[in-house]
Structure 1
Amino acid sequence: MRIGTRASPLARAQTHQAVEHLAQIVPGLLVEIVDIETSADRWTGDLSLLGGKGNFTKEIDRALVHGRIDLAVHSMKDVPGDVPLPEGTEFAAYLPRGDVHDVVLSRDGRCLPDLPQGAKVGTSSVRRRAQLSLRRPDLRVERIRGGIDTRIKKLDSGDYDAILLARTGLQRIGLDDRITEVLPTTWADGDTLAIVPAVGAAVIGMQARTADEPVMRLLKEIDDSDTARYVTAERTMLRMLQGHCNSPIAGHAHTASDGRLSLFGMVFNEDGSRWARSREWGPADDPASLGERVAGDLLRKGARRLITATRK
């Protein structure tokens, strides 16, 4: 089986997780991991100028459609919500969701509230930048690109006082010992800095050709049903909002204590000074309807104006 993936250490670590799950169903499965360099991997500038998140996936999609690989492994937060999947392909399996928290890595061990005015914080995410600016508008938040190891080197060399990353990515490549602070995912009060996760955060998705029945059947056996529901709710919301790569949109679905599905969604303007938020609950067996309701509520609260204002 030929599995296509981006060539970064994190992407390869995620692919090895996928291989482990497949091997539990088919012991001794012969696998060839095919590294594919994407346009976004080669681009060092602002991703929105390149055309958005689709540049993380389009070369891999092409290899899948043309039969050069049998399945593709993606980080779901990098799969755009405004670009349809290539005809004849679908996500047939999601691995169990990892830790969705965003974290701080600082050069001197200080947490975000303790950073001095004007400290330079690196992040490539408009979602993180907007939420950070809401609580600490005095910080200099600047774009940082590259793999996790590259970003940490820039931190250690003094280019930044702190950087924001996804906790699950650090865990997957064994660098979680560098974490200074784990940020809450829920706005508990007006003073605590929290960062609501990205749509699809900490989820590894596996995409295949729908006509390839043996691969599709195999993937269905490893699909995590809870994670599939979360992704469906979040990505339905994202699709209805028509968010683009420069939209600060956050969304997090989880199973509530009563067994129902909960979805919390937020849309920000670029500096975090204005936002719309919504939270709804629904039956676990209908995540798409939940995503539609949250998106509809956000749109009624002005999300379209916020999203339109962030287009460049």
Structure 2
Amino acid sequence: MAVELIRIVSRSSPMALAQVERVRAELAARNPEIRTEVVPVTTSGDRWQGDLAKLGGKGAFTKEVDAALLAGEADLAVHCVKDVPADRPLPAGTVFAAYLARDDIRDALVDPAGRTLDQLPPGTRIGTSSVRRVAQLTAVYPELVTVPIRGNANRRLEKLAAGEADALLLAVSGLERIGMTDRISQVLGVDEMCPPIGAGVLALQCREGDTDVIEAVSGLGDPATWREMTAERMFLHVLQGHCNSPIAGYAKAERDGRLSLWGRVFSPDGKTVLDAHEWAGPLDPATLGTSVAVALLRQGARELIDTIPH
């Protein structure tokens, strides 16, 4: 029996709801006969404004969403891949049915005065809670100050307006989703600010046994993004990084089918940087992810990650 209704569980932030609307629109274009409805949840990560590590890390944004899926209250979850922990498997009984085509993976500076990082005076407070951003920013701009700022992008922009920071670092893709790209004062290249694993990618998660739902949504998947995510998530899994690990990297599937992966591990102050870059050649994506992680482990990545409290 073909599925008639798909209930999509989502965090209730404007960003999460915008992501769900993208999925609904793509699904309606492919399967106009399927109705969709949204089941909103508020996660512990959304409610908690302190250090994420104290809540058990990134899983704080996915736990309640997973629970709704497993309890049968919803049929589909939409996740930002960068928020889904890779140091442990997906909850038993669930699978990723598709990765949507990748959005922009870069970071952006939001400065109310429209300046670039080079133009910011010493002591400027940059709002970010990302250890990856802090490490890279501190290494190149030690005169700038980072201040912890949490919440979804809309909330962070409100905090910026309230004076809790002088400028922000945010994901370009997130600002695109909430229609706020006009706030960007500088887009940082991946060589200036290496992105998080899974940047710019939405994943569709279903219950393993829901073959009708899996079949209905798997057509939304992008094959190139699937290869990139397989490599990136295996890379992170082998490194066993936690939410306080300054790990960055991205895979790129070329049009001719070649796949490369760039991986980096930083010390929190950004002074130590371990780098590895490989092309897959005949390797499958998961083997590429493993190979780049092993190259970093040979350089001392394990010690670097394990010395960071979490």
Relative to the length of structure 1, the TM-score reads 0.95
Let me know the Cα RMSD of the aligned residues.
1.3
Check conservation: 1:104, 1:163, Cα contact below 8 A: yes
1:210 aligned residue (208, 211, 218) = 208
Identity %: 50
Letter in structure 1 aligned against 2:146: V
**SS of 2:39's equivalent?**
strand
Check conservation: 1:261, 1:284, Cα contact below 8 A: no
Structure 1 position 80 matched with structure 2 position 85: yes
**SS of 1:99's equivalent?**
coil
**SS of 2:49's equivalent?**
coil
Check conservation: 1:106, 1:155, Cα contact below 8 A: no
Structure 1 position 92 matched with structure 2 position 97: yes
Cα offset, 1:284, TM superposition: 7.6
Equivalence for 1:191? none
Check conservation: 2:227, 2:253, Cα contact below 8 A: no
Q: Per-residue displacement from partner, 1:137-182 (whole Å, max 9, x unpaired)?
A: 1111011011211211222232211100000100011000000000
Structure 1 position 159 matched with structure 2 position 159: no
Distance between the aligned counterparts of 2:16 and 2:208, measured in 1?
23
Equivalence for 2:112? 107
Equivalence for 2:228? 230
Distance between the aligned counterparts of 2:256 and 2:195, measured in 1?
22
Q: Per-residue displacement from partner, 1:111-147 (whole Å, max 9, x unpaired)?
A: 1111111110001211011100110111110110112
Letter in structure 2 aligned against 1:202: G
Cα offset, 1:283, TM superposition: 3.8
Equivalence for 2:188? 183
Q: Per-residue displacement from partner, 1:220-248 (whole Å, max 9, x unpaired)?
A: 21111111111110000000000001001
Equivalence for 1:301? 299
Equivalence for 1:190? none
Check conservation: 1:127, 1:247, Cα contact below 8 A: yes
Q: Return closer, same or farther for 1:183/1:207 CA change in 2, 3 Å cut-off.
A: same
Extract unaligned runs of 5+ from structure 1: 187-193
Q: Per-residue displacement from partner, 1:246-282 (whole Å, max 9, x unpaired)?
A: 0011010112475310100001111111121100001
Check conservation: 2:112, 2:183, Cα contact below 8 A: no
**SS of 1:31's equivalent?**
strand
Equivalence for 2:3? none
Distance between the aligned counterparts of 2:180 and 2:217, measured in 1?
29
2:52 aligned residue (47, 50, 68) = 47
Equivalence for 1:189? none
Distance between the aligned counterparts of 1:287 and 1:311, measured in 2?
30
2:267 aligned residue (256, 264, 269) = 269
Structure 1 position 121 matched with structure 2 position 126: yes
**SS of 1:267's equivalent?**
strand
Equivalence for 2:244? 246
Distance between the aligned counterparts of 1:53 and 1:176, measured in 2?
25
2:277 aligned residue (276, 279, 286) = 279
Matched residue count: 305
Q: Return closer, same or farther for 1:230/1:128 CA change in 2, 3 Å cut-off.
A: same
Letter in structure 2 aligned against 1:46: D
Check conservation: 2:107, 2:187, Cα contact below 8 A: yes
2:194 aligned residue (182, 193, 196) = 196
Q: Return closer, same or farther for 1:178/1:276 CA change in 2, 3 Å cut-off.
A: same
> Which aligned runs of 4 or more in structure 1 are off by greater than 3 angstroms?
256-259
Structure 1 position 132 matched with structure 2 position 130: no
